[in-house]
Structure 1
């Protein structure tokens, strides 16, 4: 596992935020820790946490085409089906 945040994300020098991946390849890049300058409800700026901004590479698996075969039930001759069913059942 790899932690991509390499610098503190709190004003007191602690790394509180993490971006962790299972590998060391370029799944995550351009990790930046920055002051977002967000204001709290009173209009003052929140200064104790920084924002972690990064690019994440995401890939989508190739869709697999599956062939589905089925019988058209309306085209089945019920009498022939019954005869075939009884014939097979008697051989088991």
Structure 2
């Protein structure tokens, strides 16, 4: 029973992040000319995608599905590499 409750909370967590990510994506399309709003929305969107995909990677690695877990982890790290130059523009990769 605890495992089912834990799974339900993780699903609610992911759905919340996906809803916030959709709202931020809409904000970037509504205000394309406002540089600060667009920059922060893109940074937060990249971070949220990284967190959601990272939680999937953690679940897959915990279930010993190594290929799927590694792919999700790789995508999560790539999203973090997108997040860093948005927030700190003086750092170049």
Determine which structure has the larger helix proportion and give its number.
Answer: 2
Pick the TM interval, shorter chain: under 0.3
State the TM-score, normalized to the length of structure 1.
0.23
Pick the structure with greater CA Rg: 1
Determine which structure has the larger strand proportion and give its number.
Answer: 1
